[in-house]
A = this chain, B = another copy of it.
Amino acid sequence: MDGVVDLAEKLRLLDEPFSPAIVGYYNDNKLVVAKVLGEFVWHAHEDTVALFLVLEGRLTIQLRDRDVVLGPGEPFVVPAGVEHCPKADEETYVLLVEPRGTPNTGDAGGDRTRPEREI
């Protein structure tokens, strides 16, 4: 648990899009990196808030009433219970902060659900 995390190095370990990996913890929260390419699934996290921060590329967070387009360094908070669907047309990398145990597909489930893992 000591040492300093190198996110650029961690990103190089990501291959499959939408397969998030834990790079750190803050109490009950996990710090997660993920590659985004293409479109994910519509889902909501009923009781948990997610902070998105784009590291590289360009992320669109589709909401039911609008699209939020984020570039590097632009944070966005998805409130609990709000349906969203991330997508990216180019290879994009994001940092997420969300409670431990939050499933990547939220209430949607399905075959794009991934177990929590550290890298």
Point out residues on A near B: beta carbons under 8 Å.
Answer: 1-9, 22-27, 31, 49, 51, 53, 55, 73-75, 77, 95, 97, 118
Q: Taking CB as reference atom, which chain B residue is nearest A24?
A: B5
Q: How many copies of this chain are found per oligomer?
A: 2
Interchain CB contact under 8 A, A4 and B23:
yes
Known contacts: A53-B51, A53-B97, A97-B53. The answer to whether A118 contacts B4 by CB under 8 A is: yes
Closest Cβ of chain B to A29, distance in Å, is 8
Q: How far is the CA of A100 from the CA of B6 in the complex (A)?
A: 13
Interchain CB contact under 8 A, B55 and A75:
no
Known contacts: A5-B5, A24-B6. The answer to whether A75 contacts B73 by CB under 8 A is: no
